[in-house]
Amino acid sequence: MYKYNDFDTAFLAERNAQFRAQVERRIDGSLTEDEFKPLRLMNGLYLQLHAYMLRVAIPYGTLNSDQMRALALLAEKWDKGYGHFTTRQNIQYNWPKLRDVPDMLDALAEVGLHAIQTSGNTIRNVTSDHFAAAAKDELTDPRPYAELIRQWSTDHPEFQFLGRKFKIAITGSSTDRAVTRAHDIGLRMVERDGVPGFEVIVGGGLGRTPLIGKVIRDYLPQADLLPYLESVLAVYNLLGRRDNKYKARIKITVLENGIDTIREMVEERFEERRRAFDGTDQLLLEEIKAHFTPPKLRGGNVETYLAAYDADPVFRSWADTNLAAHRDDNHAIVTISIKAHGQTPGDATAAQMRAMADLAERFGYNELRISHEQNVILPHVHKSDLPALHAALKDHGLATANVGLISDIIACPGMDYCALATARSIPVAQEIASRFDELKLEHDVGHLQIKISGCINACGHHHVGHIGILGLDRAGVENYQITLGGDATETAAIGTRTGPGFAYDEIVPAVERLITAYLSLRDSAEETFLQTYRRVGMDPFKAALYPEAQKKVA
């Protein structure tokens, strides 16, 4: 993985020193809050409902063990012993004190981490496939490109004051695990005549106006990545609306001007900008790529794995749900669920973070990933190590066998923490997970993604959940709208609203009715919730959700 050079290290040290001085000046009264706020936001520091929140970037979701231990240190020393992994491959600390934040940033810098551009109207943390360099279906590791984009976009003078925040996601696989179609720019590696390049998608996004992105270039040579991105950003900077913050995202620019007009303008600028790139970026990319050489995978047989799989039903259940196919048949990709039933989705304690760091060193070639689904991944584990890994995970409450199942819920912090939220998300997620754990239906229901947001900004990706739940404030009472049929993958779709929302104490029973309806509607145990929805449509689910309305019609 990428290792900071002298320039990177000096840059972070200088930046942190600047922020330390800014904090001191705010505390001694030299800076007003109006003056200080943009400075703290540039360094990932928000003020939320109950306290400050520090958002730390985990570029393209990749960490090594030392970095994970540093995240644990921050949780333990300056917070309340835990951190919250988000859908943007960040980690958030919910209780830092203003005076401590410079020390926290210095501790992060020691392991090559930072909080720069995790806030503000700028290019945010570049996200990527959490199975990068391990997935069987991958064409090319997308992370060197993501690192190139990170370096290019950090403090880029032209793009520090955009109309709104700007999010880029990149994947090297045909299977989209990075939700590329719901980003301002999505990059998907494709091949033409055997040469990998990028399909470029623009204008996707969730929030107030959820839209699936449009393909602006079906093939972009790898060498043209930066000048092309610059051209898209330049057109957005020019045309993007600034009169209304809700209409300031590039998705609105694309919607209002049309993809053909945007494409034409981007191509025009691209011709100019490409000439300004003298190849330095490609030399840099080659240097970056050298840091992403895959680990030397060890050989050996997998008999201990096969024996445990046959003998231990608990291990088998975990293996069936939490493992994914690795490019090397003797290895597996392990998703560690941090969604134990009844716990807060995405939260990990300092002890759990340290345990995962240790296990990554012991079994996983010292690599960890954070997924946008708020779980932790060990991308390379030899199958013979899986029984021992599973046993160790159990000791730390990290062996929940629910990846991709109903309790593997994405949930934003909601009104329990977020100043923007209009309702709570976390307790809804906790109660759904607990309810289906009690019913022992989870494995029978199979693959199902529930995504919950506590406001219209959709940090919980509810629009692309198979079942999406949006928490709103209706006349001073929490109310939850349901959408069905959303899809976050390469067949991305925005879910359709079912009808009136549900009160807080009605939402879990409503989800239960949906699941009961699905179990009676599916044509076999292999047909997933999404497949059934696509086959039968909304009506039978609506009938299950609103039985009283059905009676009135009858």
* Positions in the binding site for other proteins (CB under 8 A): 26-27, 29, 32-33, 47-52, 80, 94-99, 344, 347, 415-417, 424, 426-427, 430, 473, 476-478
Output the CA torsion 479→485→486→487 (10° steps): 150
CB of 45 or CB of 285, closer to other proteins: 45
Q: Are 202 and 214 in contact (CB under 8 A)?
A: yes
Nearer to other proteins, 30 or 293 (CB): 30
**At how many degrees (to 10) do helices 143-153 and 225-239 cross?**
50
CB of 454 to other proteins, least distance (A): 11
Pick 84 or 372: Cβ nearer other proteins: 84
What's the distance, CA 478 to chain centroid?
A: 26
Name the residue nearer to other proteins (CB basis): 138 or 478. Answer: 478
Q: Which residues pair with 487 in a beta bridge?
A: 493
Residue labelled with tokens 């000439």 = 275
Answer left, alpha or beta for residue 175, where phi above 0 means left and psi between -120 and 50 means alpha: beta
Q: Give the nearer residue to other proteins in terms of CB position, either 51 or 284.
A: 51
Residue 263 C-beta: closest distance to other proteins, Å = 43
CB of 106 vs other proteins, minimal distance in Å: 19
Would you say 33 or 526 has its CB closer to other proteins? Answer: 33
Can you tell me the distance from the alpha carbon of 418 to that of 513, in angstroms, rounded to the nearest whole number? 30
- If the CB atoms of residues 346 and 485 are measured against other proteins, the closer one turns out to be 346
| Cα-based distances in Å from 295 to 247, 424, 483 | 45, 42, 42
Do residues 196 and 139 make contact, with C-beta atoms less than 8 angstroms apart?
yes
Looking at residue 52, the DSSP 8-state letter turns out to be E
**Residue whose structure tokens are 């046959």:** 310
Q: Which of 268, 195, 194 is nearest to 231 (CA)?
A: 268
Instruction: Kindly state the smallest distance separating residue 105's Cβ from other proteins, in Å.
Output: 16
Smallest distance, Å, CB 464 to other proteins?
24
Give the span between the Cα atoms of 463 and 486, in whole angstroms.
6
Rounded to a whole number of angstroms, the minimum distance from the CB of residue 501 to other proteins is 15
489: Cα separation from own chain's centroid: 13
**Closer to other proteins by Cβ: residue 43 or 253:** 43
Give the list of residues 6+ apart from residue 41 with CB closer than 8 angstroms, or none.
119, 120
Whichever of 335 and 430 has its CB closer to other proteins, that residue is 430
**Least gap, CB of 49 to other proteins (angstroms):** 6
Least distance in Å: CB of 21 to other proteins? 17
C-beta separation of 498 from 513 below 8 A: no
Question: DSSP 3-state assignment of 361?
Answer: helix
Nearest to 460 by CA among 479, 489, 488, 438: 488
For residues 415 and 488, which CB has a smaller minimum distance to other proteins in the complex? 415
Output the smallest distance, CB 33 to other proteins, in A.
5
Min dist. Cβ of residue 507 to other proteins (A)? 14
Size (the chain), residues: 554
DSSP 3-state of 91: strand
Parallel, antiparallel, or unpaired: how do β-strands 331-336 and 185-192 relate? unpaired
In which element (H, E) is residue 481 found? strand 477-484
